[in-house]
Chains A and B, each alone.
Chain A
Amino acid sequence: MRYLSRIIGFFSKPQAVYILISISLIFFLSKNLLPEGLYISGHDSGLALDSKLFLETRLYAWDERINFGEDNSLLFGSLTIHAFDYLSSLIAGVPFAGNQINIFFWLSLIFLAGFTFAYQLKQKLGRNFVYIFPYFILINFYIFQSIFILERAKYSLVSAALFFLAIIVSVIDKKLSIQFGAILSALLFSILNGGSWLGLPLYGGVLVILFVMSVFIFLDDLRNKKFELSLRFFSTIVFTGLIFILINSYSLFPYLRTFLKTDYKILQNTTTIDSNKAWLDYISQGSSFLNIFRMQGVPDWYETKFTPAPMHPFSDFYLRNPYLVVLSFLIPIGAFASLLCVRNSSQKKVIAVSSVIALISMIFMAASRSPWGFIYEFLYNNVPGFLIFRSSFYKFGYAFIIASSLMLAFTLSCLTTGISSQKVFLKYKNQINAILIIAIILSWLVYHQKLFNNEIFNWRENFSTEVSIPQYVRDYSEYVKNENINDGRVLLLPKLHNVWLSDGYDWGYWSLSTIHYSLTGQTVLSNSSGLNKQEREWVDLLYAAVSAGDAQRTESLAQRLGVTRFLLKMDALTGEGWSGGENPDLTRKKIESFNFLQQEKQFDKWILYKIKSSQTPLFSTENNLIELTQARITDVSPFLIKNRAVLKDEAVDEKIDNFIRARIDTLNCQSCVIEDAIQPHEFIWSRLLPNSVLFPLKLSLENRALQKISDPYIKRTFFYNLLLKRSAEVSSMFLYKTHDAYIIGSLKMIRDSINQVLSLSRQTSSPDNFSDAKELLDYVEKIKELLVSNVSLERSSQMSSILRDEISRTIWSIDQLKNYYAPVLDNMEQWSSEKVFEVDVKSLPYQLYLDKTSLSRRMDRTEILPEIIINDESIPFNEITSDRVDNWISLPSNNLKLGKNKLILKFGAPQNILKISENIEIKTPEGERKCVRGSLAFTPQGDTLLLKVKTSGSALKFFPKSIGKDELSEFLDWNTLITINDDYKDEYFVYHYPLPLADSNFYICGEKNHYPVFQEFIIQEIFKPKVIGLAKTAQEAVDNNKISYQRINPTKFKVNNNDSHNPYILVMNQRHSPSWRLKNSNGSKLNNPSFPIDLYATAWIIDPSQGKDFIVEYQPQSYFHFGLLTSVGAIIGLGVYAFIILRKKR
């Protein structure tokens, strides 16, 4: 009570009442937003459904629960936020982190931080300011936009920034010592730390505030020729930084290794704005200055630049309501009116700093948008690490909100003080003041009324993060906890949506990570977003086996991937809805037919199945390996059933050769590249043309760059790019009708570059090199097109004969260059029926296999088998007598020699797979059209179709349309339409058309209202046969090892192999990371390097002399322990230091 009365005594009575009422209002708001029985969950909020368990997982550097395990060392910093989650769930009496108490805590914290900051400025900005500012900082669109996921990381930094500013003001005003200020600030940022190192970009706002304050304080001191304030300010910042590092050692030490090994390189690698253009366009689509001024511009509000997102719960209300639009303009007027309200120098300093912070943070919030976007672009393109601020609106936004709220609150504070100080009201000054403040706060709340409705949790139609957790989900969680199920992985069924990879349920939960991440301590496997490429291939294979009802393959893959249980969820979203996965009913039918499974328990809509004969899945041994030459699993999986695979480039241990029994070469179809559409490199518009006085400078820069290149391949690419540059200049000069002399000069330079490319091609590439020939086409076809169009236009009659000759000469040079690749380019048609492979045989016997499913088919859907030509000799081949491995058929391989061989698969001429069925009349945006409708004879291979059309005097329109109810009614969207001009009578119109949906119909329409007429309309399949070579290198060895293991914690295991007599491979079925270390039983480190096995798991080669007992440990965990000791030591030391300071003061 004594402390309470001391705290209350610290504030005046009205302030204490104000705080009590405001906190009560926030409490009722929290209750209103989150009624009893509803909790915030999903949408990657990190709000755990079992907050205690989730907090425990944050104590380990490895999270084994997600698929094949994931590094967690980056996330130690989130311990504080998840500790708040757990505490709130304890108080609320529920296991869920997204409870009322949690929402109340964070909103109150922001409010109190705002109040503390305002209270420190009371002397400068007036008494009324203290009451108004906290409401502005709490109730605004920036804060409430993310309340649907209770974004604690952001809220923590907003609060920390406000508390920190309050401390800095106190230090500058000498109310607080530098040391004490630094200790408080560092503690503050350590507790309210933005989540983890992942939250580092959220410090963007703090950086802007500090930068502006530093400049102001320094310049002010420079003017006064006293540097006391600067010294105080910078000392506080430096000490805060140092103490912050000490206190955060527990999260910094484990992450440092990851940072130095990978993240540092990523940060060093400055990227260009173009690589993230799509994201930046999205994030800044609403962040125009006009919107930011009005405290709007949140990216989620907009569907396009000016259209409100239809699924947003309230953006339409604020963007379309004319009264609210007009009212919103009072915010910038009020904020910048503060510049007129200042009455003394201290007010002026605060308002000037705030105004600059507001304007600078606006520049960053608007990101790459004009007119100030060049600053952001420059920093993005040139400053290493700046790319972490790619979601700039959110990262810098709170600096603007703080500054703008301060200015607005100050203006209103001046206004209210002015009104209440009028002689008329002098008698009731305090009452008038109170009434005006209440009126302002009420008006602010009424304006933001839409934020107080629990609709703000709806982030999409029928989707909300405010959910009622079904009892069966809780029952399942309890069952897993009570039965202590942690032997092996649980495969989640049905399969998640292939593109969204999201876990969604018909009761409203939706997230990109599976629900189990926040629900149980169990390891689950699904096709969720955390998988890497190879892991995904394995998981997809397992799902495909389930889907096909192949029990044997499902069991074998499940055992291999460490799966011991299947969990079928009948409440999962299905393909009928948005982001829905596979149908659970169909999946149920399949798995209930599997004899190797038995139902373990049913939890209403969740059914748990167990594999009857499950083994210890996490550790095993291996003696026989298959070497792969390409990091692809799916294609060669039938060959990997018995043995594990290794990619030799990744196996750092030389002893690996002793375990390799076979090698699989994935052969590339070299000629197939020619069938792809030519992808012309675009001309880049050039500002400096040859007629500019600065042009020689451009040439000299190019020469300097050229001199630095020694590699002939890179040199050739450089000359190709020079060709493009010069051609772009020529194109511009044609357009601007520049003097012929300049164009001729450029054409000569183009020919020089062509000659250089030709001579370099002779050095580096053979004439039958398909990929180099394709590269040539990609570069020169557009240049040739430009020159041909100019020489054949009317303008050619007006151009000088010298220029015409020069153009012709350049076209001839291009043809000469193409001639070098004549064996490939002379008859390009043939490569659609002849597929060329290079087979590099390193050891014999060597067997070729052809994937039958990758072949083209006849109209009766039977595969077309090729004629086999090896080293120019045709080899007889009979499919019936050839061996098979699943869908792979063996090809005659006896003629293969050691070294390089040429394999040609010769198919018949490609056929037209379009079947035209009927004439039809349709309604289009251009009126009634008469068309013919057809479909494909079968679903073709690949992702592109080849269109070859000969017209018959009139133009055609062509487009596919997915078969469905609205196939005929909706022809408004003609995105997929192409027009074929009428001038393709004698030659083919050739077009690579992206393969539409499998169930599409194809429409060919006449341009006017008559049925289309054409000579030929051909659609050909573009297919790439898959061929592999299998070389058996050694006899398989018998594996006699018997292994047992004990799990200490997710980062430490004890392994025993009593039967080892020969070297063997120890396999740990967790994602490979070099940080997994092997130690012997007494804890000393063994130097056996780990390598990925099966392209994802971790393995070591072990010699029996190294012992029988081992410890497998994830190294960052020991760094965490060391860091934790340092942190605890630092906190104790600082506590003692602070205690001494306080005692001395007393």
Chain B
Amino acid sequence: MIKILINLEQKLLRISKKNRFKIYVFILLSLLMFLSPYVPYANVFIDSQMAVLTSLLLFLFLFRISIKGIFLVVCVLLIISSIFLLLDQFDRAENLGNYIFNILLLQTILFILKPYGKTKS
């Protein structure tokens, strides 16, 4: 068990080291996005949902997440939203549904932009 954790940690470290600039850029830009709804004038154009959407977009493009990866995220989110529905947490489930829509939109855009023949999972 400990070995697995150690391996995982090392793997994460390797990924983090390899992508350190991307991580910094992502954190910085995401912070900016999440602060935007509280900044005068910027809040006219960006609300919290838009901030989440833009950050997601950044994440997917910066880290070159595969369509399969996005689909897995969608599946996990769908499962979570189904749990919310069963617990009568309708508002939460609905909000999650909105995020799923946005992610699927990104997935479709990525799918279209990827050249033919490279979509094999």
Contacts and interface: CB of A to CB of B under 8 A. Distances in A.
A585 B120 CA distance: 76
Given A325-B82, A352-B108, A371-B50, 19 more contacts: A289-B100, A290-B94, A293-B100, A322-B86, A332-B100, A333-B74, A336-B107, A337-B71, A339-B111, A340-B71, A342-B119, A345-B116, A348-B119, A355-B111, A359-B105, A370-B49, A370-B98, A371-B102, A687-B44
B60 interface: no
A348 B41 CA distance: 42
A305 interface: yes
Contacts of B50: 371
A627 to B, nearest CB: 57
Interface in A330-360: 332-333, 336-337, 339-340, 342-345, 348, 351-352, 355-356, 359
A3 interface: no
Interface string B102-117: 1011011001100011
B33 interface: no
Contact of B94 (A288, A326, A351): A288
Contact of A290 (B71, B100, B102, B105): B100
Interface residues of A, number: 34
Interface in B75-104: 75, 78-79, 81-82, 85-86, 88, 90, 93-94, 96-98, 100-102, 104
Contact of A333 (B78, B97, B120): B78
A1063 B101 CA distance: 72
Nearest to B108: A355
B101 A362 contact: yes
A359 B109 CA distance: 11
Interface in B44-65: 44, 49-50, 53
Nearest to A339: B111
Q: Which of B71, B88, B94, B120 has the most CB of A within 10 A?
A: B94
Contacts of A694: 41
B110 to A, nearest CB: 9
B104 A359 contact: yes
B98 to A, nearest CB: 5
B68 interface: yes
A326 B84 CA distance: 11
Nearest to A336: B104
A290 B82 CA distance: 9
Nearest to A337: B71
A336 B70 CA distance: 11
Contacts of B93: 290
A359 B101 contact: yes
A687 B75 CA distance: 39
Contacts of B112: 352, 356
Interface string A269-297: 00000000000000000001111010000
Contacts of A362: 101
A471 B62 CA distance: 74
B100 to A, nearest CB: 7
A10 interface: no
B109 to A, nearest CB: 9
A544 B87 CA distance: 55
Contacts of B75: 333
A342 B74 CA distance: 18
Q: Which 9 A-B pairs have the closest CB atoms?
A: A290-B97, A345-B116, A306-B90, A289-B101, A289-B97, A355-B108, A288-B94, A371-B49, A340-B121
Q: Which of B85, B102, B120 has the most CB of A within 10 A?
A: B85
A812 interface: no
Contacts of A290: 81, 85, 93-94, 96-98, 100
A293 B82 CA distance: 12
Contacts of A687: 44
B107 A339 contact: yes
Nearest to B91: A306
Nearest to B49: A371
Given A288-B94, A290-B93, A290-B94, A325 B86 contact: yes
Interface string B9-50: 000000000000000000000000000000011001000011
